[in-house]
């Protein structure tokens, strides 16, 4: 009996390995899979046949031969199913419908004015429903939903705390699973963004990377040795609350002088309200209480910078300096290969880049930064949503593995 159990487990592991090879390296021949995995050719052929039967792989034309008969190449059926990924920002929601390789089929972005949990979840349901209505026909249909949220998420998919949304104890996973009857994964948005960059973006060939999501708050997804580092309770990466100044501005978390009070989109916009003449008439001055309303938008500021408004450009540069200062601290602690700056502020990379580098060069230790590069999200503002979709895709394949005989 024991031998049978071991054999079954081994077969599942091998089949998953073969599927992973096809997903990541297609078009690929059976011989290549055998060479890369060390599995013998008969085993590979049998497993490939099962994968073809279940709709995940298919055969295409003949590939290059290294002598002898040309091999039949295998493809991954990217459209065997579709995933939904949502990046829940503080002032927006971006949702994507992707195939199983993370290719975006459709996306929807909506602005969020009302942040109360009930209002946001009902918009979230509506947005997801609209994407589900547009899913192309496929053997597996919608395989799951992933949502990245700007806050702390427990292992039941409840949002324990999201200060920038004003949320506490919102059972988001249960709410969405009940509504749609699908597998739902909830994670922190910076974790989702880091996975998105690692799977599909700037971090594909890097083992140690930090993804810094800069929006109304700042969070980091930390990938060490190719895996997401979550910390003992799953709450790692709250870098926005690194204390950078003893008596700085009041932060949403209740402390003063946190990094995000200087370097976030919110800090940028508050600063712009008083420092940029072109938008000043539209905005109320900051009363210094730390909970000032933001009445200008990032889009508007980017437009001004593009039109060579020097005050707008200076405001971006100032934010860039603060970003670089915090990143220098992270480089000194983690000595990563790559820092990816993502989230809404990455859209302004043209005006923050130089200042980020200046601070980083000045404030990080030379030995630490010598092999660290800084990139701006290759996926643009979609890295969080794509990462959330990739969480759903990973969950789907691992539960698929559990059902294999």
Please, are residues 188 and 221 in contact by the beta-carbon 8 Å criterion? yes
Residue 266 binding Zn ion, by CB under 5 A: no
Residue number, 254 or 285, with CB nearest to Zn ion? 254
Backbone angles phi, psi at 101, to 5 degrees: -100, 10
Residue number, 122 or 255, with CB nearest to Zn ion? 255
- The total of other beta-carbon atoms located within 10 Å of residue 70's CB is 12
Residue 241 binding Zn ion, by CB under 5 A: yes
Residue 253 binding Zn ion, by CB under 5 A: yes
Residue 250 binding Zn ion, by CB under 5 A: no
- Of 18-26, 32-40, 240-248, 324-332, the window that binds Zn ion (rule: CB under 5 A) is 240-248
Q: Alpha helices of 216-283 — where are they, by DSSP H? A: 260-263, 265-275
Residue number, 112 or 253, with CB nearest to Zn ion? 253
Residue 222 pairs in a beta bridge with 210
Could you give the CA distance from residue 288 to residue 238 in angstroms, rounded to a whole number? 24
Quote the least distance from Cβ 233 to Zn ion, whole Å.
Answer: 18
Residue number, 147 or 330, with CB nearest to Zn ion? 330
Quote the least distance from Cβ 245 to Zn ion, whole Å.
Answer: 11
Residue 374 binding Zn ion, by CB under 5 A: no
Residue 244 binding Zn ion, by CB under 5 A: no
Residue number, 168 or 253, with CB nearest to Zn ion? 253
Return the closest-CA partner of residue 393 out of 236, 196, 178, 226. 196
Residue 258 binding Zn ion, by CB under 5 A: yes
Quote the least distance from Cβ 258 to Zn ion, whole Å.
Answer: 3
Residue number, 52 or 253, with CB nearest to Zn ion? 253
Return the closest-CA partner of residue 145 out of 114, 115, 175, 111. 175
Residue 219 pairs in a beta bridge with 213
End-to-end CA distance of the chain: 15
Quote the least distance from Cβ 176 to Zn ion, whole Å.
Answer: 28
Could you give the CA distance from residue 94 to residue 251 in angstroms, rounded to a whole number? 25
Residue 341 binding Zn ion, by CB under 5 A: no
Residue 251 binding Zn ion, by CB under 5 A: yes
Residue number, 132 or 253, with CB nearest to Zn ion? 253
Backbone angles phi, psi at 210, to 5 degrees: -115, 130
Could you give the CA distance from residue 39 to residue 26 in angstroms, rounded to a whole number? 17
Pairing of strands 338-342, 209-214: parallel
Residue 242 binding Zn ion, by CB under 5 A: no
Quote the least distance from Cβ 250 to Zn ion, whole Å.
Answer: 9
For tokens 């990143």, the residue is 327
Interface ranges with Zn ion (CB under 5 A): 241, 251, 253, 255, 258
């Amino acid at each position: 009996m024991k031998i049978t159990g071991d054999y079954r487990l081994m077969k599942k592991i091998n089949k998953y390995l073969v599927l992973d090879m096809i997903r990541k390296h297609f078009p690929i021949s059976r011989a290549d899979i055998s060479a890369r995995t060390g599995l013998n050719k008969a085993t590979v052929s049998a497993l490939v046949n099962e994968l073809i039967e279940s709709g995940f792989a298919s055969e295409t034309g003949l590939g290059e031969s290294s002598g002898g008969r040309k091999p039949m190449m295998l493809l991954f059926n990217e459209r065997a199913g579709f995933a939904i990924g949502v990046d829940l920002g503080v002032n927006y929601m971006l949702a994507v419908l992707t195939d199983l390789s993370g290719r975006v089929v459709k996306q929807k972005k909506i602005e969020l004015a009302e942040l109360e949990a009930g209002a946001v979840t009902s918009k979230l349901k509506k947005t997801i429903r609209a994407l589900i209505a547009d899913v192309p026909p496929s053997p597996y249909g919608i395989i799951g939903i992933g949502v990245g949220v700007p806050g702390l998420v427990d292992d039941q998919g409840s949002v324990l705390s999201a200060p920038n949304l004003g949320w506490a104890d919102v059972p988001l996973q249960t709410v969405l699973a009940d509504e749609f009857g699908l597998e739902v994964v909830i994670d922190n948005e910076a974790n989702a963004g880091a996975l998105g960059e690692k799977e599909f973006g700037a971090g594909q060939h890097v083992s140690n990377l930090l993804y810094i999501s800069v929006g109304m708050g700042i969070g980091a997804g930390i990938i060490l040795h190719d895996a997401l580092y979550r910390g003992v309770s799953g709450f790692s990466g709250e870098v926005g609350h690194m204390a950078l100044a003893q008596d700085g501005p009041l932060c949403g978390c209740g402390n003063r002088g946190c990094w995000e009070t200087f370097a976030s989109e919110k800090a940028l916009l508050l600063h712009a309200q008083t420092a940029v003449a072109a938008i000043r008439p539209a905005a109320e001055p900051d009363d210094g209480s730390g909970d000032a309303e933001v009445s200008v938008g990032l889009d508007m500021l980017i437009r001004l910078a593009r039109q060579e408004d020097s005050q707008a450009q200076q405001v971006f540069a100032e934010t860039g300096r603060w970003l670089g200062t915090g990143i220098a601290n992270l480089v000194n602690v983690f000595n990563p290969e790559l820092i990816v700056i993502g989230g809404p502020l990455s859209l302004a990379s043209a005006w923050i880049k130089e200042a980020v580098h200046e601070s980083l060069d000045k404030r990080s230790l030379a030995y630490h930064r010598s092999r660290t590069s800084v990139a701006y999200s290759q996926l643009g503002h979609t890295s969080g949503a794509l990462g959330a979709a990739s969480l759903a895709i990973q969950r789907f394949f691992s539960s698929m593995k559990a059902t294999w005989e």
